[in-house]
Structure 1
Amino acid sequence: MTATVDVVVPVYGKWELTRSCLEHLQRQSLPCNIIVVDDAGPDDTVARLRAGYPEVTVVALDRNRGFAGACNAGIRAGSADVVILVNNDVDAAPQLVARLASAFDDARVGSACPLLLKPDGRVDAYGICADPTMAGFVRYNGASVDQALSAHPSTRLLGPYGAVAAYRRSALDEVGLLDEGIVMYGEELDLALRLSAAGWRSVLVPDAQGVHLGGATSGRGSASQRRMAGFGRGYLLRAYGVLRGRYGIRALVTEAIVCVGDLVLSRDLASTTGRLAGWRAGAVSFRRPRHVPGVDRAIGFLDSLRLRVGDRRA
C-alpha cells in the first residue's frame, strides 16, 4: 500500500524561493499534502498563498518560532504516514516525493535521505554522519554525483540533512519532534541521533533528487550563521553529556581548535559565544540517550578536523 505523504515547507520571507519550491512540489508524481508554515515572516507570503494556492494548507504563526518550531507546527498540522521536510530554497525533481515514500515500505526505516545537488550539479548533501563527540557532518558535499554514487563511503550514514528530510510519522511519535530549544543548525542531527538510539534505520535514496540553492535564506559564513551553528554545537555537547564521557577531552580540544580558527579567520567571537550560549541552554534540555548505534566511531580526531574544514567528499 502506498504511504500517504505530508510535505512541510517552513518559510520566512523570500517569496520567490517559496513560489519556485511550490511549483516543483505541485509537479510531483505522487500526490501529497503540502503544508506551508509561515514563521511570522516579514512579507506577504500568507496572503499570496491564500490567494493563489488554495490547495495548500497554510499555517501562519503569530510569532517567530525558529526552524524547529515552524517544522513542528507543520508536522502537527498533518496526519500522513510519511512527513517530508523541505526547505523553501529546494527545487524538487518530479519523482522526489514518490521515491522517498517508497523507502518506508521497509518497516524498520525511520528516515530517508535524498541526493541533493547544488545548482552547478555537484553534490550538496547525501545524508549526514556523526563522529563519537556527536559532531555532525554533511556527506559528500562538493563531490560529483558519480563519486557519491560509486565510491565506498568511509563515513556511516546517520540520517537525513535538514534541507530535505523524510520521516516515518510513527517514528517521530516515538522519539519526539525537533527540539525547539535549538535556535538553528543541529536540529536534524539531534533527531537523527534519537532515531538511531531508538533502533530506527536511515536509508539513502539516490533517485530522489532535488536542487538546493543553499545559503539563499541565511548568510552563509556570516557572524549570525556561525553564532547559531555554535549554539547548536554547544547545546548538543551539554544535552548528550559528551564532556563527561570517554570522548570528552577530544571534544574539548576539537572545539578549542575550531573557536581559535574562527577567531583568526573571522576576527570575531561569534562561534565561541554561540557555543557558550548553547551550553547554558542545553542544561535544561530533556535527557538524551548515551548509546547511539549510528554514530561513526571510525571517524578519528584528524578526520573530524578535516570534515570540519569542508573536505566532505568521503
Structure 2
Amino acid sequence: MSRHVCVTAADGHTGYAIMELLLTNENFRNAVDSVTGLSLQPHGETCKELSKLGAKIVAHEPGRLRKMVDSLKATGADTLCLIPPAREDKLDLTLELIDAAEKANVPNVCFISSAGCDLAERNKQPRLREFIDLETRVLSSKGKPSTSTGHSPVVIRAGFYAENLLLYSQQAQEEGVLPIPLGSNHKFAPIALGDVAQVAAHVLCGKGKHGFSDQHRGQLIVLTGPMLATGDELASAASKALGQELRFEDISESEAKRVLRSQSASDNSEQQYLLEYYSLVREGKANYISTTAFHDITKSHPQEPDDFFKVYAQEFRMKRLPKKRKTGGKT
C-alpha cells in the first residue's frame, strides 16, 4: 500500500519538524513513498534543508486554486498533513487548501489544530476559536459525495508548544526571570514540538483498509505535556534543570504585548494567538493534561519540563559577568 504525504506550511516550525521526522527516522522513512512540502516560501532556508533530506518542495500560491489542485494531483498525494500557516490570513488560506484537497480527491487528511480552541470564546479569543471553524470545515468533507477527501480524517489538537518559552530567553539570560502573563494560580501543560511531530508522523504513516490506521482514523487527538504547572512551578523545573535559579514573573497583558513585539519575529496574528492562550490559562481553562493518546500512539512518554529545559539550557542559562582578577602589590 503506497503512501505519498504532502505537508502544508512546510516553512513553519511544525511543518519542518514533521517532515524532518518522516525523512530521517528509519521507521517512518520506510513507511512512506514520497514526502512533499507545500510552502509559501519555497526558496527559503528551511525548504532548502528539507530538499537536501529528500523532500519535494512545491510553491503555495494563494488565490490560485486551480494550480494548487494540479500541484496536489501531480505529487500523487494520497495523504495531506494540513497545518494552518502562521499568517494574518490563516483562515482564508487554510479554507482554500481544504477546497484544493477536495478537488484533488486526497482521501487521508490529518489536520493540526489547537488544544483549547473548544474552550475559547469568539469575542475574547478569536484566533483560537478559528481552529473550531477550520475543524468543522475539514470534517464536513466526509459528507460530500463529490469527493473522497475526508474519507479518512484525523484532527490533532496540539497544546501550547514548550518552544514558545524560548521567546523569553533574553530575560532568562539577563535577569533570571520568565515574564509571562499566566496569573498566579492556574496551570497549563506545555508540550514539546517534537512530541507533536511524533504523533503526527505515526498518524501519517499508519495504514489500514480505509486509509489511515484504524487505530487513528476518525480520532480527535488532544495533546498536552505531562506536567501541569503554574508559572512558579515551571520556573522551578527550569531551575532544577539549569542548576541555577530562574524565577517566574507574572506580567500584564500590555507588557506581554510589548515583550512579544520586541523579541518575536512571528506574525502579529501568532503573537495574538499566544496572548489568547495565556488568557485561557488565567481563566482556568487549561487546567488539564491529555497524554493518553500520546502513550497509545507512540508507546512512549512525552518530554517532561525538566528535560525540555536541559535540551535548551544554553538558551535559558544566565550569562554571568566575568570575575575580576585579583592583583597583588607587584607590577
Bigger relative CO (Cα 8 Å, ≥ 6 apart):
1
TM-score w.r.t. the length of structure 2 is 0.29
Larger of the two Rg values belongs to structure? 2
TM-score, with length taken from structure 1: 0.31
Instruction: Please identify which structure carries the higher helix content.
Output: 2
